[in-house]
Amino acid sequence: MKFFVDTANIDDIAELAATGLIDGVTTNPSLVAKSGRPFKDVIKEICALVEGPVSAEVVATDYDGMIKEGRKLAKIAENVTVKLPLTWDGLKACKTLTGEGTMVNVTLCFSANQALLAAKAGATFISPFIGRLDDINLDGMELISDIRQIYDNYLFDTEILAASIRTANHVKESALAGADVATMPPNVIKSLANHPLTDKGLETFLADAKKAGIKV
């Protein structure tokens, strides 16, 4: 499974990229706005920090506007992935941009039928929003499993990018359900390494080493 970090914070991205565990980045206009810097400048800097896909979202809602913005975003760097909403105009724009060789991440997916349309439109990634489905008492993991089965049935190349991930358990369940990618905030990525028994075992080991007078 690939790990993308969901942030526009340059320091967080640089720290995680240095570990070699991050395969890409997802952003949105709200995350970039928090930096207080021009949108294109932030995306360009992020693209220089990671080799993998960097999702940059359009703000237009009509086909012509999406195409215009998408083409501009794609020129920032070779690893820019244009992020489009799962609307009818978004699907049309996806078909056009992917036909031009641009990577596209179709976002705000909440049903298997939507994911099927995105794959037929040539999307590079489909982003089902797990946490938001959980918020309305629906099973986000069931959606991941349904999309996985459909894509496998018809050999679609579109990768399932599990989004709106909020907990370490979401990551595990997404991996079990067959998601290709999980995108998550920096704190969730770091939490994956945590376990109380690991902490306890390390504490015991260090105590025993101290008693035995072991030094390195």
Whole-angstrom CA distances from 91 to 61, 81, 132 are 11, 15, 21
- Cα–Cα distance between 68 and 60 in angstroms, integer? 9
Nearest alpha-carbon partner for 98 in 76, 72, 77, 125: 125
Cβ neighbours of residue 187 under 8 Å, at least 6 residues apart?
none
Mean pLDDT, the chain, whole residue set = 95
Q: Is the pLDDT of residue 115 over 70?
A: yes
Neighbours of 99 (CB within 10 A): 10
Kindly indicate the confidence band of residue 216, based on its pLDDT and cuts at 50, 70 and 90. low
Q: Which residues are catalytically annotated?
A: 83
Percentage of the chain exceeding pLDDT 70: 100
Whether the Cβ atoms of residue 6 and residue 26 lie closer than 8 Å to each other: yes
Residue-level pLDDT at 104: 98
Residue-level pLDDT at 208: 82
pTM of the complete model beyond 0.75: yes
